[in-house]
Every structure is written in C-alpha cells, then in structure tokens.
Amino acid sequence: MTKGSIEVHHRVCHLCEAMCGLVIKTERSKVVDIRGDQDDPLSRGHVCPKAISLQDIHEDPDRLRKPLKRIRTVAGEYQHEEIEWSEALDLAADALASAIQQHGVDAVGAYFGNPSVHNYGMLTHQRNLFRHIRTRNRFSATSVDQLPHHLVSMWMFGHMLLNPIPDIDRTRYFLMLGANPLASNGSIWTVPDVRRRIKDLTARGGKLVVIDPRRTETAELASEHHFIRPGTDAAFLLAIIHVLFRDSLVALGPLANFTDGIDEVREAVQALTPKWGSEATGISASEIVRIAHELAAAEAGICYGRMGVSTQAYGTLCQWAIQVINVLTGNLDKPGGSLFTQPAMDQVVNSSPGGFARFTSRGRGLPEFNYELPAAALADEIRTPGEGQIKVMFTGAGNPVLSTPNGRALDEALEEVDFMISLDPALNETTRHADIILPPTSPLEHDHYDIAFHNLAIRNTSRYSPAVFSKPEGALHDWEIFAELGDRLADRLGVESVPHLAPHKIVDAALRNGPYGDDSGWGLSIDTLRANPSGIDLGELQPTCPQRLQTPGKRIALAVPEVLADIKRLLSDKTHNSRGYRLIGRRHVRDNNSWMHNHQRLVKGKPRYHLLMHPDDVAEEGWETGMQITISSRVGQLSTTLMISDEVMPGVVSLPHGYGHGLKGTRSAIANANAGVSCNDITDEHFLDQLSGNAAINGVPVELSGA
Ligand SMILES: Nc1nc2c(c(=O)[nH]1)N[C@H]1C(S)=C(S)[C@@H](COP(=O)(O)OP(=O)(O)OC[C@H]3O[C@@H](n4cnc5c(=O)[nH]c(N)nc54)[C@H](O)[C@@H]3O)O[C@H]1N2
Ligand SMILES: Nc1nc2c(c(=O)[nH]1)N[C@H]1C(S)=C(S)[C@@H](COP(=O)(O)OP(=O)(O)OC[C@H]3O[C@@H](n4cnc5c(=O)[nH]c(N)nc54)[C@H](O)[C@@H]3O)O[C@H]1N2
Ligand code: SF4
Ligand SMILES: [Mo]
C-alpha cells in the first residue's frame, strides 16, 4: 500500500515470544513509524517498548554489513577487518572441511542462541550445513533455559514440543512460579498484552498467585505474592501434590480415561507433607494447604512455571510436578486450564519427538537431549583433549560468553580452538573470538513466518510478514549463508548438497499440507496470508486429548521413573536448603538477553545492572545503597553497585544477565559505554539440574563482601 511516498507494511515483531503485530511506515529507505497492529487477532494492537528498536537494529552503525576476518597485527593484537563474501565463505568451508577430514565431525562444535528460534530461515536451513556435520558437540541456549519443559513433555505427553499453554483468558485461578511475564512478555507461552489479560482475570473475580523470591512487576499485579527461597520450588510443588491426595482433591475428569501412574505418584509424595514443604521453601504449611485447595476448587485453574523454576537445581522435577498438578486437578486439556495448541504449521507433526541420554559429554558425562549437550559443558568439550575434542567452533545467533554459566572460562576456551566461525550481525563478547564473522541481513530485510511460537500461543492464529526493505546488493540472509556454506562444504567433502528452497516455500508447503490447508475449509497458504496481512484467526484453544498425545497408546504417563528417582535425590540433598546468600536473575522490559544494549532508546535512564539486596541484610552487613559489593562464587568474583530493595526476600540477591560489555575487540559503542557486569562470570558450570544437565543459573550460592 502506498500513500504518497509513505509505505505501510504489516509485520510481526520477532524479538520475543509474544509475536505482536506491527504496522511499520517507511519513507524511501527510512522507517518513520512503528506501532501496534490493532487488527492482529492475537496481539490486538499491543506492543512493548522494544518494538520501535526494530528500527534501531536496522540502522545501528555497529551492525555488520560485510563479513569480517580476524587478523593479527604487527603489535600482536587481534583485529577484525572486512572481506568479500566469497572469500569469507571459502575460508569458513575450508576450516570445517579440514577439521572433519582430519578429526571427524565431532571436531566441529556448534552453539545456537535464542534468536535462531525467532528467525525462520535459521530454522529451515540449518540442515543445509549441518547435515554434513552430524556432530555430537551441538549446544544451544535451550540448556540454559527451557530444557526441562521439553524433557517433561517428551516423557509425559510423548513429544518434546507438546507443551501445555496456560489459557489465561478463560481461567479462574492461576498459580505462577518463577515467571515475570510483565517484563518478559511471556515464555513457552505466547501471550501478547499479558498485563491486560491479568487485569481481566482479576476483574472477573479470578485469582493470580505468584511464587517468586522477588516481588516482581507481575507479583505487583497479582492477587497474592509469596516469597520462596530460591531453588526450593520442588518442595512446594510436591507438598501441593501431597495435599491433593491427602485431602481427596484429586479429580481428573475426562483425563482419568487415559492417564497412567497415579498410584506411583501418590506413593512418591506420601511423606512430603506441607510441613516438610514449608521448612524448605519458607512458605507456611497452612498457605501451601490453602493454595492446593483453592486451585483444586477452581472451576478452571492453571499451574505454570518458567525460567525461575526450570533453571534451578531441580528444574525438571519442578516442571514435572507442575504438569502432574494440572493433570490431578483435571485442568490439563480443559478451557481455562492448560491446553495444547493446534497450529497451522504443526511442529509436533513436523519434528522429532526428542530423545535423552543416548550419549553423554566426554568431560563430565552429561546427557544429550535432542542431540544437544548441555551448554554448561561447552568449555570442557573445547578443553578436554582426545577424540571428539572441539577444534573448530561455529556459533549462530548466540552470545554464550555472556549467557552461559562461567562465561569467563568459555571466553578463555574460545581462544584455544583452531578456528571459529560466527553467523551473527554483531562483533560482541563471543564473536570477537571468531576468525570469520558472517553477518546476515537485518530483520526488516527478510520475510518472516513464526515457525516456533504459533505452537505456544494462547490462540491459534497464522501470520506471514513480507520483508519491509529489499535486500542490499550482495547481502545474504541467514538461510542463504547456511545454504552457501553447505554447498561449499559438500563440495570439499565430495558429497551431494541439498537444494535451496526459500523458507517461504517450505512454509507454504507445510501450511497447505497442514490442518488448515488445502484439505480444509481454510485453504491456508502463503498467498492467503499475503491477502490477510494482519494474520488469520483460527480460533481459541480446544481440548485435543487423547488424540493429540504422542505417547504409545495416546496415554499420559505420570510416573516417569527418572523423575521419581530425582525425588530421592532431593530428599537426600543436604545443600538444597542451606542458608547463605543465593543469587537470582531478573529481566527488564527494555532488555533482551545480551544483544539489545546498543540502542539508545532502550538503554536510556538509570543503569539496570545493580545488585538488589533486602534492607534487613544490608543493615546487618552495615552497608548502604551505592556501595561497591564484591560477589563471589566457586568460580569467580565480580564487583557491582548495591541497591537496597525490599522487592527481594532476605537472603537473596539479584543481578540481571546479559551485561558485561566493554570487552576488548568488541564493536558496540552504546553497550560498551553502559557495560555493567556479567552475572554469568559467577554462575557455576557445575551447578546444574543434575537430571537434565540444564544450567542452574538461579539460586546460585554466593558470598558477599563490602570491601
Ligand atoms: N544468569 C542468567 N543467564 C542466562 C539467563 C538468565 O536468566 N540468567 N537466561 C538464559 C536464556 S533464557 C537464554 S535464551 C540465553 C540467551 O543466550 P544467547 O542466545 O546465547 O544470547 P543472546 O544474548 O540472546 O545473543 C543473541 C545473539 O544473536 C545475534 N542475533 C540477533 N538476531 C539475529 C539474527 O537474526 N541472526 C543471527 N545470525 N544472529 C542474530 C545477536 O547479535 C547476539 O549475538 O541466556 C541465558 N542466560
Ligand atoms: N524484556 C525481556 N523479555 C524477554 C527476555 C529478556 O531478556 N528481556 N528474554 C526472553 C527469554 S530468552 C526468555 S527464556 C523469557 C523468560 O521469561 P520469564 O521466565 O517470564 O522471565 P524472567 O523474568 O526471567 O522470570 C523468572 C522469574 O523467576 C524468578 N526466580 C528466580 N529464582 C527462582 C526460584 O528459585 N523460584 C521461583 N519461584 N522463582 C525464581 C525471578 O525472580 C524472575 O521473576 O523472557 C523472554 N523475554
Ligand atoms: S512484547 Fe515487545 S518485543 Fe515482544 S513481540 Fe511484542 S513488541 Fe516485540
Ligand atoms: Mo530464553
């Protein structure tokens, strides 16, 4: 559509999981306005302050437009300089081929970061390269994040991507642990405009109960907030399950026809009384009993937990207990409870169900999940000599130096690989180690279909976004870089390459073959979506079980042996509930992990990377706001500014992640001027959810000194 010289584009925001619809106005090659798309059936006009930064990302003078090669200067220092695409791709392919020919495919390590799931070309075309590199040394941000969700879904429902989604718009009672959607805009739960949805919930007489060691923005809006000692949620949840059995509140409804393992679960929680739960968590036994009763009595209720409960020492046990509670109260697969989506491009049908512990890491014997090893083992796998050692490292859309535990050790290890390739638009803390950086087009220069997050949304919708700007001369999209590199590697290895089908063609085929495709009344395709630029509403979530279950016999498996064994680990763990300061993270609505600190409109205002500490603790230590505090853990220490806040509970300190910029050789002027410290310099790569190998970046034991 053209109005004078102003062009109007419809676009989905890909920055977080909320998938807000946008209307972007441009004049020639400039963005002149970005606002919410009122006609988007999911986001209904909502945006957060990050939406406008799509313009800043596009215009960022530090964003790489051409490949960089790292060279050593006469002074012995490293620096990056621009080279042509063909040279960069050849150098990268040479390094990969020679590592594979000399040492085998495991000599290539790969780490994929969070934005790789928000960029559909990265999802569709990774295999153009990695089908030639079936390495065991694959890592991703999943294992510093949602791995327990996938594992539990695989075990209980038969597919790692069959994640139940909280039906907030129809619920009466919402028990939320370790999530702060007011800042994060929802996770494993695509829920744009969550503030209004929470307000609507309480306005219709429903309740939101938040369990969090910090009184977050979400807790402020909740009907109730309870502090919990970090890392002890499993005890709270298991005690709730105990009460459901003890007080005869178990009522599965229709789920009873296809659920197994209830007796084993009853048996496993028999001794886990509210009193026991209370000792660990700090939440009183009577409150635990009351919450269990209220959830069970609600006409429709939800138990949901996110980052704060998956990235802790019992993350998998927590996510399992959450789903068990939803099943035992009859709230799974029920409107107003938690439901499975029926997306137009169904990842449950289109991808592998997942697998666990088919091999382990060489260094510490940590289990793979879905052919990925835990990110906490990456530095080990670079450093441990012998067969399978990583010689060439590939990173795509990730910044593990700032985002994975003991990032400093990884920062050092990355200097030890023979060659490193990064697919990334930024010269940052991680990519500064790369010999070759391959920068893709900006988000506004490529089209988008959200392959991942329609699968997790509170409503079934479908939306395609054409590119806002055409691709600059010579530039390549992420998917084209994978395809080009894949071809070159295939050539060097003497194997066949894969055809390059543009991502929208792959999506078109999936849509037309999907549940709303050619064989349905919807006739969904890229063409129908082009004709409906604000997206198409496919309706609210519906009960889908048992048909949607992917387990043998289409049954829900409650008694997961690995998890039941983990309850015993919890019971014998003397450190689980030990006193001393515990470190937790926090998110701010204007941050996005480590990578959006180079945009003035997002970083303006007071610095956001100070340490929060409760007034009683500060008084006891004899400290005051503004002091420099040294925080130490098993792996290292850092210093930052103290801020008194009764938002955090006594015994808990909070630092956000994703800061710690300003390292030598990086190129991000604004971020480097607001560098902050990286809390992952003190999170511990040995402090894990031992069952899954997921990093425990919350509840890390730390010591403080005011020197
Ligand atoms: N202590 C602590 N640590 C944490 C967390 C925490 O809460 N506390 N959170 C964890 C979580 S949930 C996550 S997901 C991870 C995130 O960890 P990562 O994914 O490793 O890190 P990001 O900061 O998201 O880095 C994203 C990178 O992708 C690049 N990028 C952005 N868009 C594109 C694109 O379209 N194409 C390409 N090729 N590159 C792109 C950016 O330039 C940047 O380098 O951090 C984890 N680490
Ligand atoms: N603005 C913004 N939005 C984002 C991101 C971002 O960096 N910034 N990152 C995106 C990503 S990659 C993800 S994965 C999602 C994450 O989405 P969320 O999980 O909703 O985000 P967090 O704010 O990390 O919420 C975790 C909460 O857990 C609490 N917590 C910490 N330890 C414990 C504990 O032991 N028990 C309990 N009960 N709570 C605990 C923390 O205080 C925090 O409030 O957000 C996404 N959206
Ligand atoms: S909440 Fe903000 S960052 Fe997330 S999709 Fe919406 S506008 Fe984008
Ligand atoms: Mo994440």
Count of Cβ atoms closer than 10 Å to residue 195 Cβ:
15
Counting ligands in written order, the one closest to the CA of 181 is 2
Distance between CA atoms of 498 and 128, rounded to whole angstroms? 6
> Considering only CA atoms, which residue is closest to atom 19 of ligand 1?
113
Check residue 575 and give its pLDDT. Answer: 81
Is residue 116 within 8 Å of residue 398, measured between CB atoms?
yes
State the sign of the Cα–Cα–Cα–Cα dihedral 268, 269, 272, 273. negative
SS3 at position 459: strand
Ligand 2 pocket test, pick from 14, 116, 118, 180 with the greatest ligand atom count within 8 Å of Cβ, gives: 180
Distance between CA atoms of 197 and 665, rounded to whole angstroms? 44
Backbone torsions φ then ψ of 11, nearest 5 degrees: -155, 145
Distance between CA atoms of 651 and 649, rounded to whole angstroms? 6
Fill in the DSSP letter of residue 472: P
Closest ligand 3 atom, CA of 22? 7
CA of 254 to the centre of ligand 3 (A): 37
State the sign of the Cα–Cα–Cα–Cα dihedral 223, 228, 230, 236. negative
* pLDDT of 2 strictly over 90: no
Q: Is 211 in the pocket of ligand 2 (CB under 6 A)?
A: yes
Check residue 3 and give its pLDDT. Answer: 52
Check residue 593 and give its pLDDT. Answer: 98
Check residue 168 and give its pLDDT. Answer: 98
Check residue 350 and give its pLDDT. Answer: 86
* pLDDT of 541 strictly over 80: yes
Closest CA to 104 of 375, 392, 372, 376: 392
Rg value, the chain, Cα? 25
Check residue 4 and give its pLDDT. Answer: 63
SS3 at position 651: coil
Which residues surround ligand 1 with Cβ inside 6 Å?
113-115, 119, 141, 144-145, 307, 396-400, 403, 423-426, 428, 440, 478, 585, 593-595, 657-658, 679-680, 683, 697
Q: Is 560 in the pocket of ligand 2 (CB under 6 A)?
A: no
Report pLDDT digits (tens) over 160-213. 999 999 999 999 999 999 999 999 999 999 999 999 999 999 999 999 999 999
Q: In the predicted model, what is the mean pLDDT of the chain?
A: 97
Q: Is 475 in the pocket of ligand 2 (CB under 6 A)?
A: no
Check residue 498 and give its pLDDT. Answer: 86
Backbone torsions φ then ψ of 583, nearest 5 degrees: -95, 130
CA of 28 to the centre of ligand 2 (A): 39
Give the relative orientation of helices 233-246 and 285-297 as an angle to the nearest 10 degrees. 60
Closest CA to 333 of 256, 267, 234: 256
Closest ligand 2 atom, CA of 654? 42
State the sign of the Cα–Cα–Cα–Cα dihedral 257, 263, 269, 273. positive
Task: Name 69's bridge partners.
Answer: 81, 436
Mean pLDDT of 63-90: 96
> Considering only CA atoms, which residue is closest to atom 29 of ligand 1?
397
Q: Is 128 in the pocket of ligand 2 (CB under 6 A)?
A: no
Q: Which of 255-264, 575-584, 628-637 has the lowest mean pLDDT?
A: 575-584
> Considering only CA atoms, which residue is closest to atom 45 of ligand 1?
403
Mean pLDDT of 80-97: 98
Mean pLDDT of 642-652: 98
Instruction: Identify how many contiguous H helices and E strands the chain contains and give both numbers.
Output: 24, 34
State the sign of the Cα–Cα–Cα–Cα dihedral 582, 588, 591, 597. negative
* pLDDT of 576 strictly over 90: no
Report pLDDT digits (tens) over 325-383. 999 999 999 999 999 999 999 999 989 999 999 999 999 999 999 999 999 999 999 99
Count of Cβ atoms closer than 10 Å to residue 181 Cβ:
26
Mean pLDDT of 483-503: 96
What is the DSSP pairing of strand 108-112 with strand 700-701?
unpaired
* pLDDT of 314 strictly over 60: yes
Report pLDDT digits (tens) over 446-463. 999 999 999 999 999 999
Question: What tokens does 632 get?
Answer: 């130490």
Give the relative orientation of helices 315-328 and 233-246 as an angle to the nearest 10 degrees. 30
Mean pLDDT of 136-148: 98
Fill in the DSSP letter of residue 546: T
DSSP string, 58-81: HH-TTS--S-EEEEE-TTS-EEEE
Closest ligand 2 atom, CA of 589? 1
Is residue 672 within 8 Å of residue 345, measured between CB atoms?
no
- Delineate the domains of the chain, giving CATH numbers in brackets: 68-145+347-491 (3.40.50.740), 147-343+550-567 (3.40.228.10), 574-706 (2.40.40.20)
Q: Is 602 in the pocket of ligand 3 (CB under 6 A)?
A: no
Question: What tokens does 71 get?
Answer: 């060279």
* pLDDT of 393 strictly over 90: yes
Counting ligands in written order, the one closest to the CA of 177 is 2
Question: What tokens does 269 get?
Answer: 């929680």
Mean pLDDT of 586-604: 96
> Considering only CA atoms, which residue is closest to atom 18 of ligand 2?
179
Check residue 570 and give its pLDDT. Answer: 97
Check residue 447 and give its pLDDT. Answer: 98
Mean pLDDT of 146-150: 98
Share of the chain above pLDDT 70, in %: 99
* pLDDT of 230 strictly over 70: yes
Give the up-direction half-sphere exposure of residue 452: CA atoms within 13 A in the CB hemisphere. 22
Report pLDDT digits (tens) over 90-111. 999 999 999 999 999 999 999 9
